[in-house]
Amino acid sequence: MAIAVRPLAALPDQAEDEPLAEEKPDEFDPRCDAIPVANLLAANYNWMNNSTDAIPFRIATLLRDRAEQDGKGMRVLRRCDNLTPVGFSLFYPTQRSSEALFFGPSSKGLHLSALTDVDPFEYAQPGDSSYRTVFFRSWAIAAP
């Protein structure tokens, strides 16, 4: 996958033909990444709801809670020059009881952009070998 991210605008004497900033995939760090990722996701979800209800604070809290429970499926795409996350993905192993939600309207599975505290998808706990589905729960890449 090739993704282009614009270089920092404040860098002095940057030639126009200079290459775009490089990125690398990395683990999600709840201490450093929760706020910038929450801002990225809030901008992504607010247009969907036509409101500002998907506030970054709520999303950052949910991300930190998920990372504390099991952060293995959380990844960021990080700029190499300043280590800022410019992309995010969340893989979410789901319990069998949640599989029916994949066949219904997508609005029934919203969580980060909804105002409910209850996630409609039930998370399969680490070590649970009975789950059969991994849900690509969230992903976003910053616009260049």
Burial class from Cβ neighbours inside 10 Å (0-12, 13-18, 19+) for residue 57 reads: exposed
pLDDT higher than 60, residue 14: no
- pLDDT tens string 15-62: 566 677 899 999 999 999 999 999 998 887 776 656 665 588 888 998
Catalogue all structural domains in the chain, each as residue range(s) with its CATH number.
Answer: 23-141 (3.40.630)
What pTM value is reported for the model? 0.72
Which is nearest to 89 in space by CA: 104, 74, 106?
74
Q: Which helix (H) or strand (E) is 23 found in, with range?
A: strand 23-27
- Give the three-class secondary structure for 34: helix
